[in-house]
Amino acid sequence: MILTRRFYMVLILIILLMGSGYAFAPLFTIGQGVLFLLLLSVLADGYMLYRIRGIRAFRQCSARFSNGDENAVNLRVESCYPYPVFAEVIDEVPFIFQQRNISFRVQLQANEGKQICYHLRPTSRGIYGFGQIRVFVTGRIGLLSRRYTCGEEQDIKVYPSYLMLHRYELLAMSDNLTELGIKRIRRVGHHTEFEQIKEYVKGDDYRTINWKASARRHELMVNVYQDERSQQIYSVIDKGRVMQQAFRGMTLLDYAINASLVLSYVAMRKEDKAGIVTFNEHFDSFVPASKAPGQMQTLLENLYSQQTTFGETDFSSLCVHFNKHVSKRSFLVLYTNFSSMGSMNRQLAYLQQLNRQHRLLVVFFEDADMKTYIASPAKDTEGYYRHVIAEKFAFEKRLIVSTLKQNGIYSLLTTPENLSIDVINKYLEMKSRQLL
The helix (run of H) or strand (run of E) holding residue 413 is strand 410-414
Can you give the pLDDT at residue 188? Answer: 46
| Strand, coil or helix: 158 | strand
Cα 284 from Cα 235, distance rounded (Å) = 13
- Can you give the pLDDT at residue 190? 46
pTM above 0.85, yes or no: no
Residues of the chain where predicted confidence (pLDDT) is lower than 70: 162-195, 226-229
Tell me: do 217 and 304 sit in the same domain: no
User: Going by C-beta distance under 8 Å and a sequence separation of 6 or more, which residues neighbour residue 387?
Assistant: 373, 374, 378
Query: 249-301: per-residue pLDDT in tens?
Result: 888 999 999 899 889 988 888 889 999 999 999 999 999 999 888 898 899 88
* Cβ 416 vs Cβ 123: under 8 Å: no
**Residues 75 and 104 grouped into a single domain:** yes
Can you tell me the distance from the alpha carbon of 177 to that of 421, in angstroms, rounded to the nearest whole number? 10
Q: Are 131 and 244 members of one domain? A: no
Same domain, 428 and 398: yes
pLDDT of residue 228: 57
**Burial (Cβ within 10 Å: 0-12, 13-18, ≥19) of residue 26:** exposed
How large is the angle between the packed helices 368-375 and 381-406, nearest 10 degrees? 130
Angle between helical axes of 381-406 and 341-357 (0-180°, round to 10): 20
Q: Count other C-beta atoms under 10 Å from residue 41's C-beta.
A: 17
- Give the span between the Cα atoms of 306 and 280, in whole angstroms: 11
Domain tally for the chain? 3
CATH code for the domain in which residue 263 is found: 3.40.50.410
> In this structure, are 210 and 342 located in the same domain?
no
Amino acid at 67: N
- 138 and 93 fall within a common domain: yes
pLDDT of residue 318: 92
- In this structure, the answer to whether residues 267 and 234 fall within a common structural domain is yes
**Distance from the Cα of residue 309 to its chain's centroid:** 21
Q: Structural domain of residue 198, as residue ranges? A: 193-226
Please indicate, yes or no, whether residues 125 and 222 belong to a single structural domain of this protein. Answer: no
- Predicted local confidence at residue 352, as pLDDT: 94
What are the angstrom distances between the C-alpha of 407 and each of 94, 165, 243, 349?
48, 34, 24, 10
Return the CATH number at 37. Answer: 2.60.40.10
Last residue in a domain, options 159, 178, 212: 159
Q: Are residues 364 and 405 in the same domain?
A: yes
Q: Give me the sheet containing 71-79, strands edge to edge.
A: 55-61, 71-79, 113-120
307, 250: one domain? yes
Q: Taking a C-beta distance cutoff of 8 angstroms, is the pair 426, 413 a contact? A: no
Please say which residue of 226, 245, 277 terminates a domain: 226
Residues 307-362 have pLDDT tens digits of 888 888 999 999 999 989 998 899 999 999 988 898 899 999 999 999 999 999 99
d(CA 296, CA 165): 10
DSSP 206: G
Q: State residue 178's pLDDT score.
A: 53
Letter for the amino acid at 175?
A: D
H/E element, 238? strand 232-238
The whole-number pLDDT of residue 171 equals 45
Show which of 210, 226, 242 is a domain's final residue: 226
Is residue 291 located within the same domain as residue 209?
no
Same domain (yes/no): 74, 108 = yes
User: What one-letter code names the amino acid at 398?
Assistant: R
